[in-house]
């Protein structure tokens, strides 16, 4: 009962904050931070947590004395998992509420829907989720992983483990399709025969995995070691893993490595039959560093529930928020142009014991960790990249994007510079 | 490193043969302590050394390693088994003798980490070490592990085991394991071909994965393997069709469960109930609450949690259904568009209410032991959970049929839906029957939620993913006819599963929808159209 009361209190507080943020015109008094995460609809399951972590970071910063001598104020809106509404709400945040920066979006389609708004109104968006790359925008800072910071190292790890046959299974939308295209090209480059790659797409929220799991088992019983690379989206994962467990697929025989399954997704699952399946991220809650310990403790205190887990996109917001704070301090103003320029090169501690730096392509440097699912719903790191990996916005493994680079420092100031033709705008973003 | 170790092991093995047990124990200790020194490849090599030593005293330590209970004591680098007694406090036991070594704090010991390669090595080692165990179940597991490894070095061990074996089931697996080991060894061709025939006789997917790589070899062995493989693949194809039917039945049962409540509220009463999916969701959340209470209050009841949740889910969802009928729908009879909008709004309200109260994240609903795992029936793999869901769906359907056909409530219900005025004139309280019928439909949806919680996410969105499928089944089967819902659900399930392997999951679903549209064009009233005056009314 107690926790419910706290939750209700929290909600009213958020509501009050929203009303205050939208209603008053005290723009000079506080620095406003927009939070654009779905609190209802299908994506609420993932995005609500990110809203909470932003409120926590803002509260912490205020307790430290705010920013530039002013207090920060969160403005929360609910785009309700509705992609066009993301654009409307972004516009509302920037022009009506007058926020100086926005932290938000989860799905690629929601990001694509707000891009023109941020460009037109010249504001700043921090995007915290791993995505398919093939994009670099002046007003957007990508704190999640690009494919080379997640997918490619994961495949490298499995290759070193002796995997020869690959199932690329994903939900049918842009992120899995692009990631699988990159992975397929990468695998073919590394001498994998085309008949040793099986690609499979399923609709959103797919819940009957019997046929596909049996196809995977059949594909994996040719005597060659087989692995599944899963870009299956959040909701469909629980039935997928339940079916794997039911079919008796043992991680020691056919491991599944997932790019969208983190601590939060596992919270809905009995993980005992899944021990040994893998996930590739840039952060795990189980990482043992003092920064992470402090972060988890603050989070539990803030949310009032010691059972709540932390995950990779939360760390991305942690990094992004601290980068923005540092850039504002460096620029001495919240003016978007000054902050955008100041952000490149900013370096802040991440939660895995290193520093993350904002690169000129508006992506950050991160370590890549491979974790194995444990029976307590956590991951144990079994492998990590020796150093930090720089986010590569235009994949080198796709012929159409290989010659492109992004550099938002003068004089280049271009998100898709073609190094072959020497012109900006070498390819349009799909 | 590996070479040094194997040399070391060779020495050990020769030493083991003649020396007293005390010496053997110290050697085993050295082998086990080696597990704690180094990374994954070293652990793997260490396990191989233990397998070669063949001392079953290592079983507890290797088992503990597999379960993540094997630690290194930092003070003297000794490998110990540690079980967490209280938070951060571990009880230590000796890995070789099993003697208690007192307690230790978390900081004093370090867990030996595993990865999948090490897990495979553990399985192999345990298989080899427990092949002569006294317990037939352990021997069976061991034989299966050896079968999976198919290591030719295990042939002498298998020969001894087979000579002693009395249990026919274990013996069959051991013989198969021996055959696999022989095929992969450098024994003469005749022996290999004989082994191939034995494997082919056993059949199944394992046989394909064993013979697949061998079929590519030139010579008589390869030819025998290819021939055997062709035979197995033929039977496999037949079984695959059977398996597809099973998957279709299973999907059909899920569709039936989701749709059967709607067959009453929409089919029989004619209310377009968009909040139907939310009743399913409420049933799933009821299961979650029941399990949560059982977990904290009475863990021994866990296997009964579903049996307890089913009537509760029926009551909870049914009560909410009655409240919805009394509060909203009764004012909207005869106005389908308004009903559609009102119930849709209601579904959003219910979703957000659950999201606010329980939180937006998935809730964990566990599978009782009798719902997990699967068994083999010939070449079919049948998951217990799926099987019970089919049984449950059919039982709910039968129960509903009996209620409708053989009870006075059912009689009144049919009377009211067929001719409301006449029923009223005969003294039936039609508003009461309406409320009860709607409550019944909702309650059944709640029970469906209990079953769906076993295979799907328990999240506020659970209902949404079933609402379209439910309407599809009811319309396809024929509005107002329960048999139509039954046949419709299983037809769609099987059609979907036969399309899926060829068209893929995405296109398969689209194809099914196109087929339904074409079908509805031909027969607008569905598979089993109601005839008579009620239709025109």
Distance from CA of B219 to the nearest CA of A (A): 20
Please indicate whether, in this complex, the C-beta atoms of A211 and B501 are within 8 angstroms of each other: yes
Proportion of chain B above pLDDT 70, given as a percent? 94
Name the domain boundary from B88, B121, B154: B121
* Beta-bridge partner residues of B361: none
Q: Tell me which DSSP letter residue A283 carries.
A: -
Token pair recorded at residue B529:
């159209």
Domain hosting residue A209, numbered range: 148-287+369-390
Look at the alpha carbons of B463, B464, B469, B475 in this order and tell me if their dihedral is positive or negative: positive
At residue B460, φ and ψ (nearest 5 deg) are -60, -20
Does some domain include residue B286?
A: yes
Phi and psi (nearest 5°) for A429?
-70, 135
pLDDT recorded at residue A122: 95
Count other C-beta atoms under 10 Å from residue A282's C-beta: 31
Longest dimension (CA), chain A: 68
Model pLDDT for residues B340-367, shown as the tens digit of each residue: 999 999 999 999 999 999 988 888 888 8
What was the pLDDT predicted at B159? 85
Chain A nearest-CA distance from B533, in A, is 40
Say whether A71 sits in a helix, a strand or coil: strand
Are B111 and B195 within one domain?
A: no
Alpha-carbon distance of A261 to B24, in angstroms, equals: 47
Higher local confidence (pLDDT), A315 or B219? A315
CA of A379 vs chain B CAs: smallest distance (Å): 12
Does residue B382 sit in the same domain as residue B528? yes
Which tens digits make up the pLDDT trace of B94-116? 888 888 888 888 888 888 888 88
In a domain, B279, yes or no: yes
Taking an 8 Å cut-off on Cβ atoms, the answer to whether B115 and A172 are in contact is no
In a domain, B223, yes or no: no
Query: Nearest CA to CA, how far is B527 from chain A (Å)?
Result: 25
pLDDT at B326 exceeding the cut of 90: yes
Interface test with A, best of B215, B505, B507 (most A CBs within 10 A): B505
Which of A349-363, B145-159, B289-303, B327-341 comes out lowest in average pLDDT? Answer: B145-159
Average pLDDT, chain A: 88
Q: What is the pLDDT of residue A327?
A: 96
Identify the residue with better confidence: B219 or A163: A163
The answer on A348 and A243 residing in a single domain is no
Higher pLDDT, A282 or A237: A282
Position A56 confidence tier, pLDDT thresholds 50, 70, 90:
very high
A10 and A117 assigned to the same domain: yes
State how far the Cα of B500 lies from the Cα of B507, in Å rounded to an integer.
Answer: 8
Distance from CA of B98 to the nearest CA of A (A): 25
pLDDT above 90 (res A284): yes
- Is it the case that residue A370 has pLDDT exceeding 60? yes
Domain end residue (candidates: B69, B97, B121): B121
* Residue of chain A with shortest Cα separation from B499: A211
Residue A403 falls within a domain, yes or no?
A: no
B219 pLDDT higher than 60: yes
**What pLDDT does residue B532 have?**
55
Dihedral over Cα of A189, A195, A196, A200: its sign: positive
- Residue B9: pLDDT over 60: no
A-chain residues near B357 (CB < 8 A): 4
In a domain, B530, yes or no: yes
- For residue B12, the model assigns a pLDDT of 47
pLDDT at B501: 86
Question: What does the H/E/C string look like for B345-377?
Answer: HHHHHHHHHHHHHHCCCCECCCCCHHHCCEEEE
Domain identity same for A83 and A202: no
Cβ contact B114–A267 (<8 Å): no
Query: What pLDDT is stored for residue A28 in this prediction?
Result: 53
| pLDDT tens column, B479-514 | 878 899 999 999 999 999 999 888 888 898 899 999
Distance CA A179, CA A131 (A): 8
Instruction: Give domain status of residue A408, yes or no.
Output: no
Indicate whether A228 and A374 sit together in one domain. yes
Inter-residue long-range contacts of B404-410, CB under 8 Å, 24+ positions, other chains counted: B404/B482, B409/B433, B409/B436
pLDDT tops 70 at residue B118: yes
Q: Confirm whether the ipTM is greater than 0.85.
A: no
CA-based nearest residue in chain B for residue A11:
B356
User: In the block, which residue shows the tokens 């021996």?
Assistant: B178
Give yes or no: residues A354 and A271 share one domain: no
For residues B354 and B409, membership in a common domain is answered with: yes
* Residues in chain B within 8 Å Cβ distance of A255: 116
Span B377-404, average pLDDT: 91
Chain A positions touching B359 (Cβ under 8 A) are 7, 48
> How many residues appear in chain B?
537
One domain for residues A68 and A99: yes
pLDDT at A205: 81
B424-431 long-range contacts (CB < 8 A, ≥24 apart) are: B431/B330
Do A160 and A255 share a domain, yes or no? yes
Same domain, residue pair B387 and B500: yes
Q: Do B372 and A245 touch (CB under 8 A)?
A: yes
**pLDDT, mean over chain B:** 85
Contact residues on chain A for B386, CB-CB shorter than 8 A: 210, 246
Count of alpha carbons within 13 Å of B517, Cβ hemisphere only? 6
pLDDT at B14 over 50: no
- pLDDT score of A2 more than 50: no
Amino acid B280: pLDDT: 95
Structural contact between residues A404 and A412, judged by C-beta atoms closer than 8 angstroms: no
Q: Please state the domain count of chain A.
A: 2
Q: What is the helix (H) or strand (E) element at residue A36, kind and residue range?
A: strand A30-36
Contact status of A335 with chain B (Cβ, < 8 Å): no
Beta partners for residue B100, in sequence order: B93
Return d(Cα B408, Cα B424) in angstroms, integer: 15
Q: Are B28 and B57 spatial neighbours (Cβ–Cβ below 8 Å)?
A: yes
Q: What pLDDT score does A307 carry?
A: 86
* B248, B496 Cβ separation under 8 angstroms: yes
Token pair of A357 as six digits: 């730096």
Q: What percent of chain A has pLDDT over 70?
A: 92
Between chains, do B360 and A201 touch, taking CB under 8 Å as contact? no
What's the rounded Cα separation, in Å, for the pair A56 and A68? Answer: 19
CATH code of the domain covering residue B373: 1.10.3470
Say if residue B217's pLDDT is above 60.
yes
pTM over 0.95: no
Task: Please write the tens of the pLDDT for every residue from A206-224.
Answer: 888 999 998 998 898 887 8
CB-side exposure of A359: number of CA atoms within 13 Å?
A: 21
Closest CA to A232 of A195, A314, A177: A177
Mean pLDDT, range B395-415, rounded to an integer: 93
Residues B485 and B337 in one domain: yes
CA dihedral B452, B340, B353, B359 (to 10 degrees): 50
Compare all CA atoms of chain A with the CA of B457 and give the residue at the minimum distance.
A238
How far A268 CA lies from chain B's nearest CA (Å)?
4
Contact A145, A130 (CB under 8 A): yes
The verdict on residue B227 lying in a domain is no
pLDDT at A345 over 90: yes
Tell whether B269 and B412 lie within a shared domain.
yes
- CA count, 13 A, side-chain hemisphere, A43: 21
Does A283 share its domain with A382? yes
Determine, yes or no, domain membership for B233: no
CA distance B465 to chain A (A): 7
B114 near B126, Cβ under 8 Å? no
* Distances A115 to A83, A104, A107 between C-alpha atoms, Å: 12, 12, 13
Question: CA torsion angle for B411, B415, B418, B421 (degrees, to 10)?
Answer: -170
CATH number of the CATH domain containing A186:
3.40.50.2300
Is any Cβ of chain A less than 8 angstroms from the Cβ of B457?
yes
Quote the tokens at residue B476. Answer: 């396809």
Same domain, A53 and A91: yes
Please say which residue of B77, B96, B121 terminates a domain.
B121
Q: Is the pLDDT reported for residue B146 higher than 80?
A: yes
Higher pLDDT, B528 or B453: B453
Q: Does A235 touch chain B (CB under 8 A)?
A: yes
Between helices B21-35 and B40-53, what is the axis angle to 10°? 160
Peptide bond into B100 cis (omega under 30): no
pLDDT category of residue A394 using cuts at 50, 70 and 90: very high
B111 and B139 part of one domain: no
Cα→Cα distances A286→A16, A307, A352, A378, Å: 35, 14, 10, 7
For the ranges A328-337, B218-227, B243-252, B494-503, the lowest mean pLDDT is seen at: B218-227
Q: Which residues contact B404 (CB under 8 A, 6 or more apart)?
A: B410, B413, B414, B482
Percent of chain B with pLDDT over 90: 33
What are A421's strand-pairing partners? none
DSSP assignment of B279-317 equals HHHHHHHHHHHHHHHHHHH-GGGGGGHHHHHHHHHHHHH
Inter-chain CB proximity A205 and B461 less than 8 Å: yes
Do the domain assignments include residue B228?
Answer: no
Range name among A16-30, B190-204, B326-340 with the lowest pLDDT average: A16-30
Flag whether A428 is in a domain: no
The reply to whether A137 and A163 lie within a common domain is no
Cα B67 off chain centre by = 21
CB contact under 8 A, B501 and A215: yes
Query: What distances in angstroms separate CA A297 from CA A146, A315, A316, one per listed residue?
Result: 29, 14, 17
Q: Work out how many domains chain B is built from and give that number.
A: 3
Average pLDDT on B239-265 reads: 92
Is A223 within 8 Å of B504 when comparing Cβ atoms? no
Sequence-ordered list of residues with C-beta below 8 angstroms from that of B295, at least 6 positions apart, any chain: B302
Q: Which residue has the higher pLDDT, B525 or A55?
A: A55
In the A/B pair of chains, how many CB contacts fall below 8 A?
152
Query: Measured between CA atoms, how close is B361 to chain A, in angstroms?
Result: 5
Interchain CB distance below 8 Å, B209 and A211? no
How far, in Å, CA of B205 to CA of B409, rounded? 52
**Domain span holding position B520:** 240-536
What is the C-alpha to C-alpha distance for residues B49 and B125, in angstroms, rounded to an integer? 9
Q: Say if residue B379 is in the same domain as residue B507.
A: yes
One domain, residues B199 and B149: yes
Q: Are residues B245 and B340 in the same domain?
A: yes
Does the pLDDT of residue A361 top 50, yes or no?
A: yes
- Assess whether pLDDT exceeds 70 at residue A26: no
A293 with A283, same domain: the answer is no
- Chain A's closest residue to B370, CA to CA, is A246
Q: Are residues A168 and A275 in the same domain?
A: yes
The answer to the question of residue A63 being in a domain is yes
Q: Please choose, from the candidates A283, A281, A230, A237, the residue with its C-alpha nearest in 3D space to the C-alpha of residue A254.
A: A230
Q: How far apart are CA B188 and CA B185, in angstroms?
A: 9
Inter-chain touch A246–B373, beta carbons under 8 Å: yes
Whether residue A427 lies inside any domain: the answer is no
Confidence band, pLDDT 50/70/90 cuts, at residue B168: confident
- Which of A12, A81, A82, A207 is the best substitution to test chain B (most B C-beta atoms within 10 A)? A207
Rounded distance between C-alpha atoms, residue A334 and residue A223, angstroms = 60
Q: At B486, list the tokens.
A: 């039954």
Q: Which residues in chain A have their CB less than 8 angstroms from residue B254's CB?
A: 207-208
How many Å apart are CA B188 and CA B1, to the nearest integer? Answer: 33
Q: Which residue has the tokens 């998100």?
A: A415
CA distance B294 to B289: 9
d(CA A163, CA A124): 42
What pLDDT, on a 0 to 100 scale, did the predictor assign at position B36? Answer: 82
């Amino acid at each position: 009962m107690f926790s419910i009361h706290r939750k209700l209190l929290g909600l009213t507080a958020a509501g009050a904050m929203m009303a205050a943020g939208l209603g008053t015109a005290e723009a000079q008094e506080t620095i406003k931070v927009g939070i654009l995460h779905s609190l209802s609809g299908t994506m609420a399951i993932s995005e609500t947590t990110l809203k909470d972590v932003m409120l926590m970071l803002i509260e912490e910063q205020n307790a430290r004395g705010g920013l530039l001598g002013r207090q920060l104020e969160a403005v929360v809106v609910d785009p309700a998992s509705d992609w066009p509404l993301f654009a409307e709400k972004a516009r509302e945040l920037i022009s009506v509420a007058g926020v100086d920066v926005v932290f938000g979006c989860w799905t690629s389609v929601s990001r694509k829907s707000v891009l023109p708004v941020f460009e037109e109104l010249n504001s700043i968006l921090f995007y915290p989720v791993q995505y398919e790359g093939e994009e670099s925008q002046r007003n957007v800072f990508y704190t999640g992983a690009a494919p080379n910071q997640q997918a490619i190292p994961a495949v490298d790890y499995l290759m070193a483990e002796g995997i020869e046959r690959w199932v690329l299974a994903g939900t049918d939308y842009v992120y899995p399709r692009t990631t699988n295209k990159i992975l397929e090209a990468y695998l073919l480059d590394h001498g994998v025969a085309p008949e040793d790659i099986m690609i499979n797409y399923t609709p959103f929220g797919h819940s009957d995995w019997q046929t596909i799991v049996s196809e995977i088992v059949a594909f994996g019983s040719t005597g060659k070691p087989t692995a599944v690379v899963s870009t299956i989206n959040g909701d469909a994962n629980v039935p997928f893993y339940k079916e794997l467990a039911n079919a008796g697929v043992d991680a020691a025989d056919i491991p599944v490595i997932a790019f969208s399954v983190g601590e939060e997704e596992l919270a809905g699952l009995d993980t005992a039959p899944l021990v040994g399946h893998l996930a590739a991220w840039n952060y795990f809650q189980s990482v043992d560093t003092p920064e992470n310990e402090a972060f988890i403790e603050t989070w539990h205190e803030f949310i009032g529930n010691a059972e709540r887990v932390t995950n990779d996109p939360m760390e991305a917001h942690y990094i992004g928020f601290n980068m923005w704070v540092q850039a504002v301090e460096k620029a001495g103003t919240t003016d978007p142009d000054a902050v955008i320029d100041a952000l490149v090169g900013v370096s802040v501690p991440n939660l895995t014991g290193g520093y993350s730096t904002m690169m000129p392509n508006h992506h950050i440097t991160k370590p890549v960790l491979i974790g194995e699912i444990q029976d307590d719903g956590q991951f144990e790191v079994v492998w990590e990249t020796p150093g930090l990996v720089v986010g590569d916005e235009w994949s080198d493994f796709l012929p159409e994007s290989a010659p492109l680079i992004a550099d938002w420092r003068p004089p280049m100031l271009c998100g898709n510079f073609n190094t072959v033709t020497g012109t900006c705008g070498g390819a349009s973003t799909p | 490193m590996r070479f040094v170790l194997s040399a070391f092991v060779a020495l050990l093995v020769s030493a083991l043969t003649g020396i007293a047990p005390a010496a053997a124990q110290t050697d085993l200790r050295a082998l086990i302590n080696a597990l704690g020194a180094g990374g994954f490849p070293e652990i793997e090599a260490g396990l191989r050394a233990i397998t070669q030593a063949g001392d079953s005293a290592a079983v507890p330590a290797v088992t503990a390693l597999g379960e993540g209970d094997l630690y290194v004591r930092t003070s003297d680098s000794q490998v110990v088994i540690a079980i967490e007694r209280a938070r951060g406090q571990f009880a230590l036991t000796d890995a070789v003798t099993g003697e208690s070594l007192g307690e230790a704090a978390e900081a004093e010991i370090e867990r030996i980490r595993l990865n999948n390669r090490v897990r495979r090595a553990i399985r192999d080692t345990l298989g080899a070490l427990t092949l002569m165990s006294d317990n037939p179940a352990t021997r069976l597991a061991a034989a299966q592990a050896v079968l999976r490894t198919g290591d030719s070095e295990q042939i002498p061990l298998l020969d001894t085991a087979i000579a002693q074996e009395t249990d026919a089931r274990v013996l069959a697996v051991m013989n198969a394991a021996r055959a696999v080991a022989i095929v992969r060894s450098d024994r003469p061709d005749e022996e290999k071909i004989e082994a191939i025939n034995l494997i082919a006789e056993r059949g199944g997917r394992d046989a394909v994965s064993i013979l697949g790589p061998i079929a590519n070899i030139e010579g008589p062995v390869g030819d025998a393997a290819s021939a055997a493989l062709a035979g197995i693949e033929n039977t496999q194809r037949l079984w695959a069709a059977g398996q597809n039917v099973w998957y279709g039945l299973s999907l059909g049962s899920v569709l039936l469960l989701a749709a059967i409540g709607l067959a009453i509220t929409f089919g029989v009463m004619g209310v377009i109930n968009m909040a139907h999916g939310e009743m399913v969701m409420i049933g799933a959340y009821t299961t979650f609450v029941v399990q949560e209470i059982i977990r904290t209050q009475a863990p021994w009841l866990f296997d009964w949690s579903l049996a307890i949740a089913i009537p509760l889910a029926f009551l909870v969802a049914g009560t909410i259904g009655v409240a919805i009928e009394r509060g909203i729908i009764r004012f909207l009879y005869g106005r389908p568009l308004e009903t559609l909008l009102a119930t849709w709004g209601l579904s959003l309200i219910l979703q957000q209410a659950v999201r606010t109260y329980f939180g937006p994240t998935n809730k964990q609903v566990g599978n009782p032991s009798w719902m997990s795992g699967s068994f083999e029936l010939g070449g079919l793999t049948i998951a217990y959970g799926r099987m019970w869901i089919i049984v449950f769906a059919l039982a709910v359907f039968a129960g509903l049929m009996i209620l409708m056909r053989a009870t006075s409530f059912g009689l009144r219900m049919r009377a009211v839906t067929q001719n409301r005025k006449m029923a009223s004139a005969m003294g039936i309280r039609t508003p009461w029957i309406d409320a009860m019928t709607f409550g019944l439909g909702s309650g059944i949806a709640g029970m469906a939620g209990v079953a769906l919680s076993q295979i799907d996410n328990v999240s506020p969105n659970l209902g949404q993913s079933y609402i379209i499928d439910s309407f599809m089944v009811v319309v396809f089967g024929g509005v107002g006819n329960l048999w139509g819902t039954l046949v419709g659900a299983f037809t769609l399930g099987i059609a979907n599963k036969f399309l899926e392997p060829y068209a893929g999951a995405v296109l398969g679903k689209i194809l099914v929808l196109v087929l339904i549209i074409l079908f509805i064009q031909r027969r607008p009233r569905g598979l089993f159209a109601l005839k008579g005056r009620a239709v025109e009314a």
